[in-house]
Each structure stands twice: as C-alpha cells, then as structure tokens.
Structure 1
Amino acid sequence: MSGKFGLGNYSSRKHISISVPSSTEVMSPHIKSVEELRVLGINLNSFNTPTQFFICVAGVFLFYLIYGYLQELIFSVEGFKPFGWYLTLVQFGLYSLFGLVELQLTQDKRRRIPCKTYMIIAFLTVGTMGLSNTSLGYLNYPTQVIFKCCKLIPVMIGGVFIQGKRYNVPDVSAALCMSLGLIWFTLADSKIAPNFNVTGVILISLALCADAAIGNVQEKAMKLHNGTNSEMVLYSYSIGFVYILLGLLSVGGLGPAVSFCSQHPVTTYGYAFLFSLTGYFGISFVLALIKLFGALVAVTVTTGRKAMTIVLSFLFFSKPFTFQYVWGGLLVVFGIFLNVYSKNRDKMKLPSLADLRKRVLSGRKVRLLSQDV
C-alpha cells in the first residue's frame, strides 16, 4: 500500500523544516515596521491596493490644498516677500520636531538609511523647498505652481539615470502634453501678470531640478533600506535645517527676518505653524505614495493637486485671468489622463486604430445592407 501511494522511497526525499515561534517569542520591531506602513496612525497594509491609493490621494489633496492656501496667504503679508528662506528655516525646524514626535511613537526607532544618503536628500530638499518659497517673492503663486508641475519630465529622466527605469510611449506623451500646457500657461502669465519676473523663473527652475531628483533618490533609499516615513522626514529635514541656518548666518539674513516676524507674530509664525503642520501631513502621504506606487505615480497625483491649487488661488486671491490659462490647464489634465492610462492599460482597454477602422467599416456595411433591404 505504501508503494501505491508513493511512500516506499520516503526516506530518500529531502525534508523541509518549518519552525513556528512560541508564544514567548516576539517578532522584531524591524519586521513589524516593514510589514506595517502607517501614515498618521493609519495602517495602509490592512487595505487593498485601490483603497491604499484612494487614502493616499485624499490625504495629498486635503492637506496640500490647505498648505498652498496658507503659503500664498503668508506671502500676501506686506513686507514678507524677501524672507522666503527664513520661512523655509521655520518650516524645516517644525518638520524635524513633528518627525521626532512621530518617530518616538513607533516601536522601531533605529535609523536604517545611511547618513550620507540623508545629506544628499537634505540638500535636494533644501533646494526644492527653499528656492520654491523664495520664488514667490518674484512670481504669482499660480505661475510658481505651474512651473513645479513641470517636474514630471525631469523625474522621468532622473528615473532613467538614477534607477535605470524605462518608460513607454503613453508616459512620454503625457509628459509632453503636460509640458506644452504648462508652457502655454506661463506665456499667458508673462503677458498679463504684474509680478512676473525672470529672477523668479530662474529660482523656480533650479527648484524644479532638485525636485526632479529627490523623488527618485527617496524611492531608491526607502526600498533599499526599508526606511520609514517618519525616519525620512526627521533626518532629511533636520539636516536641511542646519544647512539653511548656516546659509542665513553667513549672508546675514537671519536678523532682519527675525525682527520682521517678531513684529507680526500671528501672520508669520502662526500661519507658518499651520502651513508646516499641513505640509508635514501632506509629505507623509506623498512618501507613502512613493513607497507603494513609485515616484512617477506620486508626481502625477501631486501634479493634479497643483492644478486644483491653481483654481483655488484664482478663487480666493484676486489676480488677472485669461482663457489661455484654461487651454493650458486642459492640456495638463489630458497629460495626467495619459499617465494614469499607461499605469492601468489592462483595466482601461482603449480601442486601437485598427479596431476603430474595423468598426467604421462594419458600420458602413450595415448601412449599405439596410439601404439594399
């Protein structure tokens, strides 16, 4: 009977031993932190992929829309425009404090990503946020935001060189459509906006270059070392805080900024706290998007958020308007659709040119037959 069921040569087979830990053995905090991706106390791993994406997108839109409103509100304070770097210093300090508090609430407090990597990420973060904040002293807020949307192409280029990625035709087409729409928007703004300044264009362009690299560097570091969001925020922004502080001390820009803000504490430090709090919550969801879906998807979502921010900026703050903004915005929306389609082509099967040709020919045949009858 043993031969019938193939048990005769049982002893010659290889064995696989599976050990089950006892109730006294506890899984290491490192393993728990890898299995559980938490954002603001929400365990995203307990949801399916579409729900994870919806939660991350909702968090990005909610907090960053408030963030954008407060940012423009701060720079609308008379006399504040020259102090963009000081606002970035305050923002980095608060981000570091928030990250420290969140990290203390987690079980695993170890730093996994090397300090050298964090120094690079901090430098890029200082570049993208500091130059972006400073550019608002020279540009209208919608123009600054629309420039930042252009980082889709640099992110793709950075993905090729940093991570060796390859992108398909829909991704490239999406980037081209978005860029053409943004160029159209910028040209319209240069004609009618009173605050348009070439210095602001240079500043936001440099911020764009740093922003293009940071998403890919963060994605690679978090996947390679299994770093947590709170760890990434704490170390990158605390090191960046030191960078900005040394820079302001070297050029003598700290004293005038502190003097001005001390005279207007509510409209500067008060708004800056809320601005930093919503930005911190927003960056937590962006980092979750990067870790779960990649840098390109995160950029696409944040680009859509920026388009909504522009609409709200025109509604809440008075500024010149032209319909060229609308046409440029539609091109950007079409580019976003192409990018989403490229990521979900299996679920969103659009007819090919050959299929459309067959449908047209079959429709003609039906009409001819109906006429003959």
Structure 2
Amino acid sequence: MSDKFGFINYNNARKHISISVPSATEVMSPHIKSVEDLRVLGINLSSFGTFAQFFICVTGVFVFYLVYGYLQELIFSMEGFKPFGWYLTLVQFGFYSLFGLVELQLTQDKRRRIPGKTYMIIAFLTVGTMGLSNTSLGYLNYPTQVIFKCCKLIPVMVGGVFIQGKRYNVADVSAAICMSLGLVWFTLADSKIAPNFDLTGVILISLALCADAAIGNVQEKAMKLHNGSNSEMVLYSYSIGFVYIFVGLISVGGLGPAVAFCSQHPLKTYGYAFLFSLTGYFGISFVLALIKLFGALVAVTVTTGRKAMTVVLSFMFFAKPFTFQYVWGGLLVVFGIFLNVYSKNRDKMKLPSLADIRKLVLSRKRGRLLSQNV
C-alpha cells in the first residue's frame, strides 16, 4: 500500500541516517541506530507500514488538538482568567512533565540520550512558543491568534534552511504560501465577528512564532542525531521549562494572584487545565512522531491543516454567519496540502502536462464526432 500512495521514499530515507563524528569533549550516544522502534503512547508504530504510520499520526494530531483548542478557548472565556496565561502554561508544563515521567517509566530504556544543553535550548523555545501563545489570548480573540499562528509554515522553512541547511523546492514554498494565505483568508472572516486587536497581543504571538520557527527543526535534528524517544523529549523539555516559568513568575510576583484566583474556581481552572494538558500531551506525542518520521515541514503542514478544521468545527458547535470567504480559504488550504504531498512524491505522482491535456481534449472531441456520424 505504501507504494501506491507514494510514501516508500520516507521509509528508505529513515533507515539510514547520517551521524556526525563527535568532538573530543562529546561522547557519541550508544543508542544511535536506525529508527525501528518508534513508540507513541505505548504503541509501537514500527510494526505498521509507512502510510499507516502517517495516517495514525495525522489522526492523533487532529483528534487530540481539536479538543485541546476547544478547552483552551473555554478556559480563557472564564471571567477574570485572561491575565493568568503564564500560570496556565506553568500548570500545563507540570502535567506534561508528570505524563512524560509516567510514560518513560513504562518503557524498557529509561536513560537520557539527548544532551542536557540541547534540552535547555529546547525548553527555552518551548516556553516561548506555548507561554507567549497562551498569554496572547489575554489580549487577542481566538480567531485573531489563529491568523498569526497559521503563518508559521514559512518561518519553519526558514529555520530549516539556517538550522539544518535544508533546501526547499518551488512546490514546498508554494504549499507554505497557499496554506498560510488560505488560513488567513479563512479566519479573517471569523475575526470580523469580534475583532479585538491589541499591540501587546500582536507582539506576544509574533515572538511565539519566532520560537516556533526554530523548535521543530531543533527537535528534529536532536532526535535524529541521538535517537531520543518521544517520552524522553517531553519529560526533559517540559520539566526544565517548568523551572524557567516558575522562577519567572516568582521574580515578577505573578504566582500569588494566580494561585489565589484558581483556588476560588478549582474545577473550572485546574479541572479544565488537566484535560487541556492531557489532550495536549497526547497531541504533542503524535507531533513528535511526525517530526521524527517525516520531518518538521510535514509535521507543521499537518498541524496547520488542523487549524483549518478547528475553524470548521466552530461553525458546527456555535452559530455564526457564513460567507464564501470560508470556501475560498478552505480551497487554498487543500491546494497547499496537495502541493506539499506532491513535492514529496513527484516520482509517484506525475501530473499531466499541457500537451497531454490538449491531446486528451482533442481525442474526446474526435470521439464525439465519430459517435454523431455513426
């Protein structure tokens, strides 16, 4: 089946990964090997074909992150909670660390493979991505935030060029532009309902995008070089990030008011935060699997498509006016996804040329004429 859908190149490419020779001060990880035992939430994906792996990861990302987005908007819709975005991120990082520890204990190999210095960088970028994104919801409405976040395909590609030395073809660049423009067009219609632009929120979400542009590429490079597991990546990056946020909140005096507010509404704050963190943890596990198997660009392409589905589902649960802007934006997103898949499978997906199309049209016309003469 993988041959049919054009994914066989991924499987061949990831069986042999290039490993750079460490310097005198570094020790090569004894676990560097082919990616043969990738597990997500205890499920060994290596027993499935490449297309099945891709389908499982995409399904996991869509299901869990759609619930994640709904709960995120639900939490910030609570009266008085908007100033405590960083505290929500602290609680979220705490739950992620706990979930990662439990999952790591269930695996046979519990040793850390990726260096601690790398995790400190990843944790800093993760704090910037999630913390600034959560905090921006205190200044921007949810559709406006999505407008900015949907544009991260392009900075991820730029990060891939500078961090990993990648080169992208015209189809990849066109896919990123089409998906970004499509989602912007799609969500702009929604933002007209309750526009709430604020310069502080714009700055926060822009900084989150800068961190997001780097984190996927850094994770991909670290996981390929040291063959780190998903649970290890989650545990160490989010536990170190928890310390960063905790120290920051104490320094600015933001911990006390947040704790006092949440203690008055424990079910709506900590209860929703637990479900919010649980679905987010499941979602990030599938995202990391996508990064490890298919690269950062494919992973971000999938998550960007998920954002479009989030807006679509909002019409199913909430009454909103409809315009054809949603249709044109959705078509642009679909076309961007097609360009991205086509760029990865050109050998298997040969599009007809203009000459072929012209010959096909002429042959059909001849067929009609012959049938009429008969």
Give the whole-Å Cα distance in 2 for the aligned partners of 1:230 and 1:33.
Answer: 18
For 1:184, the equivalent position in structure 2 comes to 185
For 1:316, the equivalent position in structure 2 comes to 317
For 1:95, the equivalent position in structure 2 comes to 96
For 1:237, the equivalent position in structure 2 comes to 238
What's the CA shift for 1:314? 3.7
For 1:56, the equivalent position in structure 2 comes to 57
For 2:15, the equivalent position in structure 1 comes to none
The answer to whether 1:122 aligns with 2:129 is: no
For 2:24, the equivalent position in structure 1 comes to none
Give the whole-Å Cα distance in 1 for the aligned partners of 2:102 and 2:339.
Answer: 40
Alpha-carbon spacing, 1:47–1:297, altered in 2? closer, same or farther (3 Å): same
Give the whole-Å Cα distance in 2 for the aligned partners of 1:320 and 1:122.
Answer: 41
Check conservation: 1:30, 1:108, Cα contact below 8 A.
Answer: no
Alpha-carbon spacing, 1:204–1:291, altered in 2? closer, same or farther (3 Å): same
Check conservation: 2:42, 2:103, Cα contact below 8 A.
Answer: no
Give the whole-Å Cα distance in 2 for the aligned partners of 1:310 and 1:187.
Answer: 11
Give the whole-Å Cα distance in 2 for the aligned partners of 1:321 and 1:237.
Answer: 40
Task: Give the TM-score taking structure 1 as reference length.
Answer: 0.86
Check conservation: 1:193, 1:320, Cα contact below 8 A.
Answer: no
Give the whole-Å Cα distance in 2 for the aligned partners of 1:317 and 1:136.
Answer: 19
Give the whole-Å Cα distance in 2 for the aligned partners of 1:86 and 1:326.
Answer: 37
Structure 2 segments unaligned to the other structure (5+ residues): 1-29
The answer to whether 1:300 aligns with 2:301 is: yes
Residues 314-359 of structure 1: CA distance to partner in whole angstroms, max 9, x if unpaired? 4334666644344223322221221122223333332122322333
Residues 18-38 of structure 1: CA distance to partner in whole angstroms, max 9, x if unpaired? xxxxxxxxxxx9589953111
Deviating more after overlay: 338-347 vs 299-308:
338-347
For 1:79, the equivalent position in structure 2 comes to 80
Check conservation: 1:125, 1:214, Cα contact below 8 A.
Answer: yes
Give the whole-Å Cα distance in 2 for the aligned partners of 1:201 and 1:325.
Answer: 23
Give the whole-Å Cα distance in 2 for the aligned partners of 1:313 and 1:247.
Answer: 35
Check conservation: 1:72, 1:141, Cα contact below 8 A.
Answer: yes
Alpha-carbon spacing, 1:62–1:41, altered in 2? closer, same or farther (3 Å): same
Give the whole-Å Cα distance in 2 for the aligned partners of 1:57 and 1:46.
Answer: 17
What percentage of aligned pairs have identical amino acids?
A: 90
Deviating more after overlay: 104-113 vs 231-240:
104-113
Residue type matched to 2:263 in 1? Answer: S
Deviating more after overlay: 258-267 vs 143-152:
143-152
For 2:218, the equivalent position in structure 1 comes to 217
SS in structure 2 of the partner of residue 35 of structure 1: coil
Residues 300-322 of structure 1: CA distance to partner in whole angstroms, max 9, x if unpaired? 11111111112223433466664
Check conservation: 1:142, 1:313, Cα contact below 8 A.
Answer: no
What's the CA shift for 1:195? 2.5
For 2:9, the equivalent position in structure 1 comes to none
Matches within 5 A, 1:1-373: 30=31, 35-185=36-186, 187-188=188-189, 191-317=192-318, 322-363=323-364
Residues 263-306 of structure 1: CA distance to partner in whole angstroms, max 9, x if unpaired? 00000000000100111011111101111111111111111111
Aligned length: 346
Check conservation: 1:33, 1:228, Cα contact below 8 A.
Answer: no
Check conservation: 2:150, 2:184, Cα contact below 8 A.
Answer: no
Alpha-carbon spacing, 1:174–1:195, altered in 2? closer, same or farther (3 Å): same
Residues 109-141 of structure 1: CA distance to partner in whole angstroms, max 9, x if unpaired? 111111111111111101110111111112222
* Two-structure CA RMSD over aligned residues (Å): 2.4
Give the whole-Å Cα distance in 2 for the aligned partners of 1:265 and 1:331.
Answer: 42
Task: Give the TM-score taking structure 2 as reference length.
Answer: 0.86
What's the CA shift for 1:177? 1.2
Alpha-carbon spacing, 1:191–1:68, altered in 2? closer, same or farther (3 Å): closer
Check conservation: 2:85, 2:131, Cα contact below 8 A.
Answer: yes
Check conservation: 2:36, 2:46, Cα contact below 8 A.
Answer: yes
Of structures 1 and 2, the larger Rg is shown by: 1
Give the whole-Å Cα distance in 2 for the aligned partners of 1:32 and 1:213.
Answer: 25
Deviating more after overlay: 108-117 vs 339-348:
339-348
Residues 141-178 of structure 1: CA distance to partner in whole angstroms, max 9, x if unpaired? 23322322211111111111111111122111111112
Give the whole-Å Cα distance in 1 for the aligned partners of 2:34 and 2:80.
Answer: 45
